[in-house]
Amino acid sequence: MGIKTKERHRQSEEEKMRHRLQPATVLLYLTVVVFLSLFFTHPFYLLALFLAVAIVIFSFDLIREWSSYLKIGLCFLVVIMFVNVFLVREGATVLFLSPAIPGLGRIRITFEALCYGAGMGLRLLVIISAFCLFMYVVHPDGIIRLLGGRSYKIALALGLSLRLFPLMRADFLRIMQVQQCRGVNFHGQGWRERTVKTIPVIKVLLLSSLERAFQLAESLQARGYGLGKRTSFMRNRWRIGDKLIVVAICLVLCLSMWLVMRGQTEFHYYPRLQSVGSGDFFGAVFLGIFLMIPAFLNWGWKKWPTLRSRI
């Protein structure tokens, strides 16, 4: 990595608002999003959650990172729709009716089953997108600090795993390359032969990971890990940005409770899709706008330098 480019990269990383947010704020936001996505069945509200998270991801310049998560999510969406369409025979609007197939009977594909699969897939996309946001916005050290106290050991293990996973992946690729340089061909044969050829790579990887784990443990031991009661160095203060997001989350929860009590967040797919009214639309729009507050703050932070010292 060229030094100048790296320096620029470092500076641009420093300038991002997402790094100033408290891990607790981000975790609260994501927990609420995931919880609501599991609770809501109405596609309008699921779509509002998805769009809100997508816009926050977009404003945080994480589109490139999100795209790989999205690809996996879309694959799952297709699988869910496929499985739902073939297994669920409910629904009044028949799109396709196959002749009788021995053992399976007549396959009946309905519009409602298709929509139900899409709705469930959308829920999965919300959860996957929230996970992506968690991975790139919440620093592993932040989780360790957040949990602190008695949960420190678990948090340290979690933080180390998150940090070491990319290192292990890099090790794996490097060892593969080294073996290729010794003439090992990992491509073009049957899966059995490829597996056999990958075993040495995994062997080296495990040995190297074990050595690294040992060295890390020794470094921890030398720095007094496990002495007893430890303190926590919390440098980041709660900024106005954190507080505004927490207020927005509270508003979202209040609005959601009101909508739930009115029964607006439920949706019946079978036997026919229920009708939707303008109340559903406006409810989803308000919910989405409140959840987009981090994105609005980030854009404001980028545009008006005076806001930087405040948010």
Partner 1 sequence: MAYIKVENLTYYYPEAEKPALDNVNLQLNRGEFVLVLGRSGCGKSTLVRAIAGLLPDFYGGKLGGSIYLDNQEIRTIKREVLVQKVGMVFQDPESQLIMSNVEQELVLGMENLGLSVGLMQRRLMEVGAALVLHPYLQDDVTELSGGLKQKVVLASILAMQPEILILDEPTSQLDPVAGEEILTIVRRLNEEQGMTVILIEQRLERCFHLADRILLMEQGRIVQNQTDAGAFVQWATKEKSPFLPPIPKLFAGSSCARIPLTVKEGRQLLEKSSPHTFQNSSYNLSETCNTGDTNDSGKTRNALDTCDTCDPCDLLLQVKNVGYIYENGVEALKGNNLKLYKGDFLVLMGENAAGKTTLLKNIRGLLHPTTGTVHFLGQEIREKSVEEWAGEIGYLSQNPNDYLFLPTVRDEIVFTLKNLQLPQEEETSVDILLEKLGLHGLAQSYARDLSSGERQRVALASILAADPQLIILDEPTRGLDYDMKAQLGEILQKLQQEGRAILLVTHDVEFAAEYAAEIALMTQGTIIARGNKEEILSDSIFYTPQVAKLFQNLIDEPVITLAQGKLMLMKKIFQNSL
Residues that bind partner 1 (CB under 8 A): 1-6, 9-10, 13-14, 19, 139-141, 144-145, 156, 159-160, 162-163, 166-167, 174-175, 177-178, 180-185, 187, 200, 203-204, 207-208, 211-212, 215-235
Nearer to partner 1, 89 or 308 (CB): 308
Closest approach, Cβ 33 to partner 1, in A, equals 24
Q: Tell me how many degrees the CA angle 232-234-236 measures, rounded to the nearest 5.
A: 165
Q: Comparing C-alpha atoms, which of 48, 210, 56, 216 is closest to residue 130?
A: 56
Nearer to partner 1, 13 or 90 (CB): 13
Nearer to partner 1, 235 or 263 (CB): 235
Nearer to partner 1, 89 or 212 (CB): 212
**What angle separates helix 111-137 from helix 43-59, to the nearest 10 degrees?**
30
Q: What are phi and psi of 303, to 5 degrees?
A: -80, -45
Judge whether 46 and 128 are in contact, CB under 8 Å.
Answer: no
CA of 128: how far to CAs of 37, 109, 122, in Å? 11, 27, 10
Closest approach, Cβ 229 to partner 1, in A, equals 5
Nearer to partner 1, 275 or 309 (CB): 309
CA atoms of 53 and 89, how far apart (whole Å): 33
- Three-class SS of 236-282: CCCCHHHHHHHHHHHHHHHHHHHHHHCCCCCCCCCCCCCCCCHHHHH
Closest approach, Cβ 242 to partner 1, in A, equals 17
Closest approach, Cβ 166 to partner 1, in A, equals 8
Closest approach, Cβ 4 to partner 1, in A, equals 6
Closest approach, Cβ 189 to partner 1, in A, equals 12
Nearer to partner 1, 90 or 211 (CB): 211
